[in-house]
Structure 1
Amino acid sequence: MILGLLILSNRTIYQLRSRIDKGLNIMYSSSTGSIQAAIKKLLNNGYIDYRDIQDNGKKKKEYYITDAGRQEFNTWINSPIDSAGIKCPELSKIYFMGFSKQKKRFENTQEYITELKNKYDSLKMICDESELFMHSNNYDNLDKEAKDIIFFQLATARFGRDLMSFAIKWYEQFLIEMRKSDE
């Protein structure tokens, strides 16, 4: 994920985190700790490097991809899609929810539905804006490679949006079923 984002543009850790938070966090954790761990590993492998920059009087590290990083990214992106499947760690909470207090079951599930709706709204906005852009003159003037990049990024956002839509419906139905089972 980090290599791909750095191919698009050089970024600070803050910029990486902000970009991941804008729709990519369904694929990758946007926690500073996760990003810093990935950055450290990529630096140690020589896949990225950094330069010190000044931003509003503050010294920051701006990371960029190296030739070795581009080669590693190209190897990864051209390999088959991993068939490990989608993992939903939040389902472990559902699996063991019978041990929780009844009131907390409803509260936590409703809170999670709210989070899902917020993610859905963000992804829907990205999809809507991207689809508008794809029907504009600016898009028509792009070369084939740029159009391909946009196409696949939009496909990923649509997958996330549709996944959030499914999850919202599933958890809302689950909430109804929980209420019925408590009657």
Structure 2
Amino acid sequence: MIEQIVLGFLMLRSMTLYDIKKGMEKSTEHFSSASFGSLHPTVQRLEKQNLIESQEETVGGRNRKRYTLTDAGKQHFLNWLGQDIELEKVKDNSLLKLFFLGHLPADQAKTLIERYCKHLEQQIALLGLLHDQTEKIQVPESLQRIKDHQVATLEFGKAYYQFAREWYMKKFLENS
């Protein structure tokens, strides 16, 4: 998935590895994250496959590489994007904890669920703030559909966390 994230960001403009990582922190990292340690070999692989190319530049006395999507890279990304959206298993490690939480004393389990619900509240607030900030960004008409789809991921994340919080509250906290 990291390869598709890199290619997707480069569909917008050429970027440095730092630009890609910062872009991810404000968007895709809420549902798919990658470290600098995994991004670096990814761009190297993409460059060897001639899907991206790099250009050395010096800014403020520091050398860095700026990556640009090749025509083959654009086609590769669009081919991937045009495939059916696959149904995936829910990958939420909180469910693994929940599955085994019955092994703990009830009061300890309740405390952990209460703390988890507070973390969910914080994430809901963060995504709400990002959503509001993103909605205010003006983009050219040609990029509006791209922005709309990106904003939709924030809305999905917020709704997902709201559902999880409400479900945990109702299932484990309201009746105890």
**Which category describes the TM-score, using the shorter chain as reference length?**
0.7 to 0.9
Kept in 1, the 8 Å contact 2:51–2:76? The answer is yes
With normalisation by structure 1, the TM-score equals 0.75
Identify which range, 47-56 or 72-81, moves more after superposition.
47-56
1:75 to 71, 75, 79: 79
Alpha-carbon distance in structure 2 between the residues aligned to 1:35 and 1:111: 32
Between the aligned residues of both structures, percent identity stands at 26
Residue 115 of structure 2 is aligned to residue 118 of structure 1: no
Q: CA deviation at 1:5?
A: 0.8
Asked if structure 1 preserves the Cα contact closer than 8 Å seen for 2:52 and 2:68, the reply is yes
Does the alignment pair 1:170 with 2:167? yes
Aligned to 1:147: 144
CA distance in 2, matches of 1:68, 1:56: 32
Q: CA RMSD in A?
A: 2.8
Partner of 2:158: 161
Rounded to whole Å, the distance in 1 between the matches of 2:154 and 2:166 is 18
Name the stretch that deviates more: 14-23 or 65-74: 14-23
Matched AA of 1:9: R
Aligned partner of residue 90 in structure 1, secondary structure: helix
Change (3 A) 1:92 1:15: same
Q: Secondary structure at the match of 2:27?
A: helix
Q: Which residue of 82, 88, 94 corresponds with 2:92?
A: 88
**Structure 2: distance between partners of 1:132 and 1:2:** 25
Listed as ranges, the gaps of 5+ residues in structure 2 are none
Quickly say closer, same or farther: Cα 1:66–1:106, change in 2 above 3 A: farther
- Contiguous gaps of at least 5 residues in structure 1: none
Q: Quote the offset at 1:75 in angstroms.
A: 0.3
Structure 2 residue matching 1:126: 3-state secondary structure: helix
Distance 1:92 1:37 in 2: 30
> How far apart are 1:100 and its partner, in Å?
5.5
Q: Deviations over 1:34-66 (max 9, x none)?
A: 323432332232212222222332222222211
Cα distance in 2 between the residues matched to 1:78 and 1:16? 22
TM-score w.r.t. length of structure 2: 0.78
Kept in 2, the 8 Å contact 1:23–1:119? The answer is no
